[in-house]
Amino acid sequence: MGTITEELFSRRLGHDVHAGDTVIAEVDVAMAHDVTGPLAIEAFRSLDLPLWDASRIVFNFDHVMPANTVAAAELHRVIREFCVEHTITNLFAEGICHQVMVDRRLARPGGIVVGADSHSTTYGGLGCFATGLGSTDIGVVFATGKTWFRIPETVRIEVRGALPRGVYAKDLALHVIAQMGADGADYCAVEWGGEAVAAMSVDERLTLSNLSTDFGAKTGLVEPDAVTFAHSGDDPFELRPVRPEYLRTLVVDAERLRPQVAVHPSIDNVHDIDDVAGTPLDEVFIGSCTNGRLSDLAIAASILSGRTVHPRTRTVVVPASRGVYLDALSAGYIETFARAGALVLNPGCGPCLGRQHGVVGPGERVLSTSNRNYPGRMGSPDAQIFLASPAVAAASALAGAITDPAALEPAL
């Protein structure tokens, strides 16, 4: 009885738990990537204990893949050698860790997954309790298979009605973040529900859960349903709130939403697109663990098809994973991007964290479909970062300025 989080942990532990309880639980999978992995390996080694379970430890090279510096190559070497030493075969270099976890069905409905990356909340879109931890916590899981959790209180986001045409999960999430504030769900679980969420594809639900960490949430859950199980391949089961007590319920009227833009310098500085339309852009980035999935690329391709990006706006497209890349190739989206003059890069984190390619310079403005617009996130601390949906990103790439897709001529 309780919230999805309470139901899930009660089931897993075999007795009732409630918000506020502290539990020690075994996880299904522990994940780390090329930047957080080496510190987790150091933590594990300092324990001088045997490895927990090689089949449940996952490494992904995504933040700097392929390596662009000797230092990055060195991080990769440390992880590769660790995987050989411990016969860990879940070492992937095929895109963003979170998408690979979904593509390879390493995160499952009803599961508990921890990752050394804050956006590990993404798998909540499948009804998996997933949360980000630091490297030391993950290193301890490598040895013990367990970690401690304080069962969080839950904030329920109840989304009534249907999203209007041209408004997406990204817009909904940004609107909610504006209502809640960047720390509005700190230490809490978030449950996303209601008609608009039930109507969403798994791709869109992953976007909601992904962005849950960006208003402080420990996890962002969507109740698994037929859509979930069709995607995950698991036998269906029920995991839903039963007489839950929520810390807070935020009701959103989906039908009133417009495309949203989070404006420099914080993710909760959110505006209707009309407030910022016309702002010139030096770069547009379409990709990331937030919006680099096939349905995102499909939206962008539908807008860019037969058109050319504005010459002042370098446009970078990065499929979230090899699976997404191959599907986008088959669907013709990659050719559409190339013909439109966009730069298509290999699957991975891309320009999101200003470490590899697409780095922005001082005074530049970039519109990104990613999740963070902190000063310095994508390069120079004197650049301005705007966050929006793939539809807004594609329309803005064409115009060279922030543009509502509905305003494009000829109309879409």
Please tell me the distance from the alpha carbon of residue 122 to that of residue 320, in angstroms, as a whole number. 13
Rounded least distance, CB 67 to another protein, Å: 9
Of 202, 219, 223, 201, residue with least CA distance to 210: 219
What is the crossing angle of helices 202-212 and 169-180, to 10°? 20
Binding part of the chain for another protein, among 241-249, 312-320, 339-347, 373-381 by CB under 8 A, reads 373-381
For the window 247-266, what string marks contact with another protein as x by the rule CB under 8 A?
Answer: -------------------x
Binding part of the chain for another protein, among 35-43, 82-90, 199-207, 245-253 by CB under 8 A, reads 35-43
Binding part of the chain for another protein, among 50-58, 79-87, 130-138, 227-235 by CB under 8 A, reads 130-138
The backbone torsions φ and ψ at residue 316, rounded to the nearest 5 degrees and listed phi first, read: -115, 125
Burial of 266 (0-12, 13-18, 19+ CB in 10 A): middle
Please tell me the distance from the alpha carbon of residue 146 to that of residue 25, in angstroms, as a whole number. 5
Binding part of the chain for another protein, among 18-26, 297-305, 313-321, 399-407 by CB under 8 A, reads 18-26
Give helix then strand counts, H and E, for the chain.
15, 18
Rounded least distance, CB 412 to another protein, Å: 34
Question: Residue 72 or 167: which CB sits closer to another protein?
Answer: 72
Interacting residues of 358 by C-beta distance below 8 A, sequence separation 6+? 283, 285, 314, 316, 345, 350, 351, 378
Of 244, 190, 200, residue with least CA distance to 225: 200
**Interaction between residue 24 and another protein (CB under 8 A):** yes
Interacting residues of 398 by C-beta distance below 8 A, sequence separation 6+? 303, 304, 307, 308, 309, 310, 408
**Interaction between residue 79 and another protein (CB under 8 A):** no
Please tell me the distance from the alpha carbon of residue 61 to that of residue 120, in angstroms, as a whole number. 15
Rounded least distance, CB 219 to another protein, Å: 11
**Interaction between residue 284 and another protein (CB under 8 A):** no
Please tell me the distance from the alpha carbon of residue 355 to that of residue 109, in angstroms, as a whole number. 33
Rounded least distance, CB 21 to another protein, Å: 5
Rounded least distance, CB 194 to another protein, Å: 25
**Interaction between residue 133 and another protein (CB under 8 A):** yes
Question: Residue 17 or 159: which CB sits closer to another protein?
Answer: 17
Rounded least distance, CB 151 to another protein, Å: 10
Q: Are 316 and 350 in contact (CB under 8 A)?
A: yes
**Interaction between residue 351 and another protein (CB under 8 A):** no
Question: Residue 72 or 342: which CB sits closer to another protein?
Answer: 72
Interacting residues of 107 by C-beta distance below 8 A, sequence separation 6+? 28, 29, 101, 113, 123, 126, 128, 130
Q: Which residues bind another protein (CB under 8 A)?
A: 13, 15, 17, 20-24, 35-36, 38-39, 42-43, 46-49, 63-64, 69, 71-72, 74-75, 116-118, 120, 132-137, 139-140, 143-144, 146, 148, 150, 182-183, 186-187, 214, 216, 218, 266, 353-355, 359, 372, 374-377, 379, 381
